[in-house]
Chains A and B, each alone.
Chain A
Amino acid sequence: MHEMSLCEGILQTLEQQAEVQDYQKVRTVWLEIGALAGVEVEALRFSFDVVMEGSLAEGAKLEVISVPGQAWCIPCGINVPVEQLYDPCPHCGSHQLQVNGGDQMRIKELEVE
């Protein structure tokens, strides 16, 4: 399961940053997840609790900030909102779109002690 590996990636970063930023425990994790990132947020929440168990982030709260999808429409020459990778441009119907927003999955900030 994809989301499980993502949570392992999050934990690695939390552990690595613990030394750099000098904290012992993580209380809250804020993630920024784009609508086009291919991440199932519910599955992520479930995996998060399992993976953080026994770590410095055991019991930490997960806050997810969703970011809408956006793409550059080549024919229109403007940024347009898209909900799925296969959506057409809402103005001209073209599929000549370059995704330029909402494909990120980032750890944004932490509440630590």
Chain B
Amino acid sequence: MCGICGCGEGPVHLDEHEHSHEHEHEHEHDHNHTHSHAAVHSHAPGLSQVRMVQIEQSILAKNNQYAHENRRFFSDHGLLVLNLVSSPGSGKTTLLTETILRLKDDIGIAVIEGDQQTARDAERILATGVQALQINTGKGCHLDAHRVGHALEKLQLQDHSVLFIENVGNLVCPSAFDLGEAHKVVVLSVTEGEDKPIKYPDMFHAADLMILNKIDLLPHLDFNVEECIQYAKQVNPRIKILSLSAKTGEGMDNWVQWLKAELQLQLIAYA
């Protein structure tokens, strides 16, 4: 899978980026960094050739390259891949377990769970009888395409099935990291306040579908659904919105229909 990385790591590396920036840096010591401190700390004038180099490359180029690899894999195998993003506790895992119960007899489903710590969410998914793989990001606050690529090596994905990627609960940075998914699906629960779309516009701008969850709680709250939808469309006029309750099942049929239709679209071979 990871043709461009050559990182030689096992399929799921636990925070390969936590390298040693924490060491106290005494520049007298005899450490063996690859850089030469002479070059860093004393510039002998006239000896070095200072010049300009044009780069013109996105900061996210590396991630985008991995995402591109993932996307090609998904398309070769007719996989529908959805990247579920939200703030912590909006109900992503509950939505997934409820969705799996409704669909697993008809459709192949697998889940990648991203959390900073614990395998609790993957265990909840495994209990439904489908494949799940937990990625712990440690201090990292989002999944990136490289890690997802390695997770794919571990899963036995069936052609023309659905892969859900539950991202780390965080409404900020997962918006910037393409994983190769067909769609980002943002889950917002009615307990979070209707102004989330304009407070975290990047995420709602990047998502194609918004799920307004926990609508069973509406009678107990003064959450204004219309206003929330208006804010979401203000940030992203193309966003589609489904209201549902993963707990009571209200509105789940719409979501299941949407999934089936999207999976069908993966069979189309565009030129």
Contact = CB atoms under 8 A, between A and B. Distances in A.
A105 B50 contact: no
A113 to B, nearest CB: 4
A23 B35 CA distance: 12
Interface of A: 1-2, 5-6, 8-10, 12-13, 17, 21, 23-25, 27, 31, 38, 50-51, 53-56, 58-59, 84-86, 88, 95-97, 99, 104-113
Contact of B231 (A51, A86, A96): A86
Given A86-B198, A95-B234, A113-B49, A5 B173 contact: yes
B51 A112 contact: yes
A17 B58 contact: no
Contacts of B53: 17, 21, 23, 109-112
B17 interface: yes
A85 B55 contact: no
Contacts of B59: 6, 9-10, 13, 31, 105-107
Contacts, number: 116
Interface in B5-60: 17, 20-21, 25, 33, 35, 39-40, 48-60
A23 B33 CA distance: 17
A112 B48 CA distance: 9
7 contacts: A2-B142, A8-B17, A21-B53, A54-B25, A85-B204, A106-B57, A111-B50
B201 interface: yes
A38 B175 CA distance: 9
A58 B43 CA distance: 13
A52 to B, nearest CB: 10
B141 interface: yes
Nearest to A99: B205
Interface of B: 17, 20-21, 25, 33, 35, 39-40, 48-63, 140-142, 144, 172-173, 175-177, 197-198, 201-202, 204-205, 231, 233-237
A31 B249 CA distance: 48
Given A9-B59, A106-B57, A55 B35 contact: yes
A5 B137 CA distance: 12
B47 to A, nearest CB: 9
Contacts of A5: 17, 140, 142, 144, 173, 177
B57 A86 contact: no
A56 B37 CA distance: 10
Contacts of B144: 5
A25 B53 CA distance: 12
B21 A84 contact: no
Contacts of B237: 95-97
Nearest to A109: B54
A113 B51 contact: yes
B40 A110 contact: no
B106 to A, nearest CB: 37
Max count, chain B CB within 10 A of own CB: residue among A9, A31, A88, A105: A9
